[in-house]
Structure formats: C-alpha cells, structure tokens
A and B are shown apart, each in its own frame.
Chain A
C-alpha cells in the first residue's frame, strides 16, 4: 500500500487530538506492542537506559498510566487535568517501505484547577504501516527545557 504524505500528516494531527480529547483507549490502539514512549531528561540525550529519562515506557507502562487516570482513588487526578496540543505541520523525514519517520514541533498546555503550564517540544515519531494501517512503533518527545525543574506533568505531551 502506498501511504501519502497527507495520510501521515493527518495521522500525527489525529493522535494529538486523541490525547487532547482524552480518547486514551483509541490512542493506545495506535501503538505496536513493542513500542517505547521516550521523553529524555537531557538535551540531545542518546541513551534511554543507563541514564535517567523523564519517561521511557513500554506498552504495559503506557496502559497503566492511562488506566490510572480514570481510577477511583487517583488522588492527583481529582479533579482531572486537561491538555491541549498546538502542532506545526509535521516534517515527513523518511518513508522506506513501511517505515516512516516524522518530526513535529508542538506547544503543549496542561492545566488543573488554577494552574496551567506551557511546554515547547519536538515529537519524533517512528511509524510503521501494518495491515494498511499506520501504527506508532516508537515516539520520542524532546522538551525544549527538559533539564528544568518541573512540577507534576500528569498527561501526555
């Protein structure tokens, strides 16, 4: 199947919309089950394993993260947080057979009660076409200020 640039770009937009609308089950279904969501701690970090990251989460952790958000005793989500992604048009950097790489600049706003914060970030998606569907093989989120001291970041930038 030939995937067009527009289909890829639409996919990135649709993923951000799922997160903002908290359609997490749909979002989880986008992932291949051996994928990792990586949010480095250090600027231009190359190693996810032997130094600390903010997140380096497999499918089990992502599922746990998402399921926890709706739990009866999830105290840090009473009341719940909300988020909003404003995204620039993704660059489609690679299309090789079924493997696709995109790089997207985003501004991410998260809010809860009276507090709100803004993160600028670059999201790098490794996508794979499986059974004619685009899936997330890996996702890397580089916060512009990844080495800054943050309060709680509770949803998914």
Chain B
C-alpha cells in the first residue's frame, strides 16, 4: 500500500481481474483493513452448536482478530459475544470451552452478565450513582456481535450491526453443508473431539486459495502419495488396500481426473471442487450405513445424497468443508504472515462408527502438524510468503482458464483446473472490503 490511509479505490486496484497484487498477502496495512472491514462485513464461521449443547456451555474462538464467545443462553439460543468485559477489557472466558452456569462473572472486579451479555450486577454499585456510566456503552454489558445465524448446526456471525443477510450472502452454496448433514441418517452432525491446530507462517488467503487449486496435488504431494503407491506396488498390490492408500494415493490422480472433476462457483466468493466426482468418490462402503440411510430417506433420496462427492467447498472468507469426510477447516488470520488452521471433524449421528474412524484418519493423515501431506503444503505457502517479498514482480497470476467475460454474480460450472474460484474470491474480497469504506481518494 502506497498510502497510509487506504480507501476503496486503493483496495479495488489490488485486484486486476486476472492478477492480484502481492500486498494482499504481505502488507500489514491491508491485513488491518481486512480485520476492520472484510471480517466485519462478511458472515464468518464461529463454531458448531454441538460444541455448546447445554445452557451455559461456552466455547471461545476468533472472528478475524476479534476474540468472541459462543454460548448457549438460558432460552436455548446460541449467542455470540465479544470476549471483553465492558469495564476494563478483561477477557471474560479464557479457557477454550466450559460451562458458566446462568451468568458470566468477570474475574477482575466481579461485574456479572447474563449469558446474552446483559449486565446483571456491579459490586458496590452506589459508586456509580450520579456518574456518566449510565450514558455510556460500558453499562450495557458484554457486547453481542451484529448478527448470528445457525444453519444445520453451524454457527455463523456478522460483526457489523447492518449488512448483507445470511441467506443472500451464502445463497445456494449452503447445499454443501446440507449434504454433509444429510449424510447422517438423523440429519444431524456432532463435533468429535478437539480440532487439530496447525500454525502456518503465511497469509490466510493462500490456504483458502489452495482448497480449489487442483493443479498442485500431483506435484507437491508426489513425495507422499507417489511413495505410497510405489510401496504398495512393491508389496504386490495387496487388496484390500492399506488405509493410507485409500486416503493419500488419490492425490496422485492425473490432471485429466482433476479437469473432469469440475469446479462450481457461487456469488460472494463461495465455490467447490468435485462437481462430477472427486478424490473421495472411491472410498470403500461401510456395512450397515446405506441400509440406515435408506431407512431414513428412502432408497432414491439416500442414493442422491451419497452420490454427491464434492471435494472442497470454500465458504468465503475463511473456511472449507468436506461433505463426504465431515471435516471443516477454519483458516484463522493472526497477522499478514501468520494463520492458525483448526481442522474439526464431525460424527454423523446414527451412522456406523467406521465412518467417523475414517474421518479421524483423514484428518490426521492430511491435516495434522505431523502430516506428511500437510508438510509439503505448508512448505509451498511459506516459500510463497518469502518469495513475495521479491520486488522483481509485484503481481500474482490467477489467470488459468480465464474467459473474456466472467460474471461472478452468477453460479457457474467450469473445468476442474480453472482458477475461476480464486478470481471469484478476490471479487468478493474487494466487495466486502470496500462496502464500508469511503469511495473517494
């Protein structure tokens, strides 16, 4: 950024349609604007309602750089509150999860609040009689976020009081979350244990873009997927295949496989790989599962649900879900060059445990800090973060399979190796960065 007070025209100039300026990954000024605009205007993932099943249950996380609490209020509703005492700023909840009972109590001066944030009591309150406290926001309690919406158990929030509605923001992209939940014979998911937590020294958007980058697996992951195949062949290609072969080997699929897989994009930066098939298509059947699905949905509908094999669905700005695996990855920005990746898995309620065992295996094999697949991804991101400091070239190419007139306000299905979804994300990035900015220079 050239200017110290960037505005909408500066931000829009960082995305030329086919190229994006490296400042979007490296600039501290751009990062701070993302936190004050993009992550305030967009609907951002918070958690799953099964993480806070009972009244008073809470869980702490971040929306962008904002510490927040997801809590089950006394009326059974999920509330999302800024994790800050209105008195001195002390974080109200420090642990990752817990139960606070009927109210939160600040550990510093014992101001207490209902679980919807409303102020309940201040000790020695007469000290505030005839003071200006009553005229300020400090007296109102813990501030809730602008808006909360729960869809099939997934909790999203918009920090801004006003802005785009939930249904308009996500539109038909919610079909991926719906398919993930429909895969449970009961139509419900439950979080299964704590998430993997993997720290990346790179910008959060590199991770989001990589979710629909189908030209990297056979290159970056040759060391894991290619070696897996060669060991298996040395063993005489035994069937059934070792677990690692089912999970890791499909990463070595040829370009044609990924081209034919297809990519769908939706308005506001959402999109997914795996329209026609995906690397998750050929997992072995689990005994009893299809029978349970048929019992719940009827055979035709059960087949329809399970024939959907979407690979990665990006929900702009910063999560990815894998429906066939019941996994959600949250790319939490911690600075222009620092991102915490939390990878959650979910249990399909009323489905056989073998499905969850495969999901847990996928999570640790691919997305753990100890994963031989994840290692090569992180290596690429961190090399890019360092390489982008080069002044030799300031623009990053996102031109693959770009056509003359791409309209990101309409759903589209394209060749599976297009970078259209990356362009779609930057189109939405400009939109939600600038909607709350001054338009003039």
Contacts and interface: CB of A to CB of B under 8 A. Distances in A.
Interface string B194-234: 11111111000000000000000000101110111001100
Given A52-B345, A61-B244, A75-B380, A150 B372 contact: no
Contacts of B376: 74-76
B122 to A, nearest CB: 35
A41 B223 contact: no
B69 interface: no
Contacts of B194: 41-42, 51-52, 147
A83 to B, nearest CB: 13
A82 interface: no
Contacts of B223: 68, 71, 73-77
Contacts of A71: 222-223, 226-227
Interface stretch (B56-64, B177-185, B274-282, B360-368): B360-368
B231 A64 contact: yes
B193 A63 contact: no
Interface residues of A, number: 33
A39 interface: yes
A109 interface: no
B198 A52 contact: no
Contacts, number: 122
Interface string B352-390: 010011001101110011101011101110000000000
Contacts of A61: 242-244, 365
A88 interface: no
B369 A150 contact: yes
Contacts of A68: 223-224, 227, 372
B404 to A, nearest CB: 36
Nearest to B235: A60
B364 A56 contact: yes
> Is chain B's binding surface mostly helix, strand, loop or mixed?
helix
B375 A154 contact: yes
B118 interface: no
B198 A150 contact: yes
A154 B374 CA distance: 10
B192 interface: yes
B364 A54 contact: yes
A105 interface: no
Interface residues of B, number: 46
Contacts of A39: 370
A115 B244 CA distance: 30
B360 A49 contact: yes
Contacts of B353: 49-50
B217 to A, nearest CB: 13
Nearest to A157: B370
B340 interface: yes
Nearest to A81: B375
Interface in B132-155: none
A50 B352 CA distance: 11
A29 interface: no
Contacts of B380: 75
Contact of A52 (B193, B199, B220): B193
A58 B201 CA distance: 30
Contact of A53 (B197, B224, B231, B364): B364
B360 A52 contact: yes
Given A64-B228, A68-B224, A74-B223, A55 B370 contact: yes
B234 to A, nearest CB: 10
A51 to B, nearest CB: 3
B227 A52 contact: no
Nearest to B378: A152
Interface in A29-67: 39, 41-42, 49-56, 58, 60-61, 63-65, 67
B378 A76 contact: yes
Contacts of A51: 192-194, 345, 360
A148 interface: yes
Given A64-B244, A73-B223, A54 B372 contact: no
Contacts of A41: 193-194, 196, 364, 368
Interface string A66-102: 0110010111110000000000000000000000000
**What are the 10 closest A-B residue pairs judged by CB atoms, nearest first?**
A51-B193, A74-B223, A149-B197, A150-B369, A76-B379, A76-B375, A60-B242, A149-B199, A71-B223, A54-B370
26 contacts: A41-B193, A41-B194, A42-B193, A50-B193, A51-B194, A52-B195, A52-B196, A52-B363, A52-B364, A52-B368, A54-B196, A58-B244, A67-B231, A71-B223, A73-B226, A74-B376, A75-B220, A76-B375, A149-B369, A150-B197, A150-B369, A151-B369, A152-B369, A152-B374, A152-B375, A153-B369
